[in-house]
């Protein structure tokens, strides 16, 4: 199975998670700045990750390179999402970027897999929550970094 993990990262937390996921999935970790349309299309499972900025926006590299995603043919493609956020500092927009990416890939006809339970988190709002679940793997590298390994492992077990 070919797995591509495409991410945006500034401080390195999301890059670290992307690296962990790609290693465990025996896939390739690709920075969105270097990603090509083929990286989105030529895989069996596409995993996208982004941190959320303050009021709930996509990370800058994702915003500047979103056309790569929009130009890719994702019809029927299996896509999984992960997002990093800080639920204590930004409880009203926790992992919102994951919700933005969900909307983007859903519009392209992708099949999103890997929804996760919202229990164990303490936030007040998130566009990544749909029908009582997160649209992917929500990670708080600031307040719950000790749970990342366990969450990543359990999530990937369900995906692969």
Which residue reads 């492992």 in tokens?
A: 153
Q: How far is CA 41 from CA 71, 74, 118, in A?
A: 10, 7, 30
pLDDT the model gives residue 55: 86
Domain ranges for the chain, please list them: 3-152
User: pLDDT digits over 16-61, tens only?
Assistant: 999 999 999 999 999 999 999 999 999 999 999 999 998 899 999 9
Residues in the chain: 160
Residue 88: CB atoms within 10 A of its CB come to 13
Assign 137 to helix, strand or coil: strand
CATH topology of domain 3-152: Rossmann fold (3.40.50)
**Its pTM surpasses 0.95:** yes
Instruction: Measure the CA–CA gap between 50 and 6, rounded to whole angstroms.
Output: 9
Could you read off the pLDDT of 91-139 as tens digits, one per residue? Answer: 999 999 999 999 999 999 999 999 999 999 999 999 999 999 999 999 9
């Amino acid at each position: 199975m070919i797995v591509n993990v495409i991410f945006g990262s500034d401080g390195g937390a999301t890059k670290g998670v992307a690296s962990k996921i790609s290693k465990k999935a025996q896939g390739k970790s690709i920075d969105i700045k270097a990603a090509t349309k083929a990286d989105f299309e030529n895989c069996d499972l596409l995993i996208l990750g982004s941190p959320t900025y303050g009021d709930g926006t996509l990370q800058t590299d994702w915003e500047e390179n979103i056309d790569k995603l929009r130009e890719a043919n994702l019809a029927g493609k299996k896509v999984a999402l992960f997002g990093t956020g800080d639920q204590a500092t930004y409880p009203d927009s926790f992992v919102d970027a994951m919700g933005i990416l969900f909307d983007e890939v859903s519009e392209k006809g992708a099949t999103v897999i890997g929804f996760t339970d919202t229990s164990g988190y303490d936030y007040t709002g998130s566009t990544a929550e749909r029908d009582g679940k997160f649209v992917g793997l929500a990670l708080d590298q600031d307040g719950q970094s000790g749970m990342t390994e366990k969450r990543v492992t359990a999530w990937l077990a369900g995906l692969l």
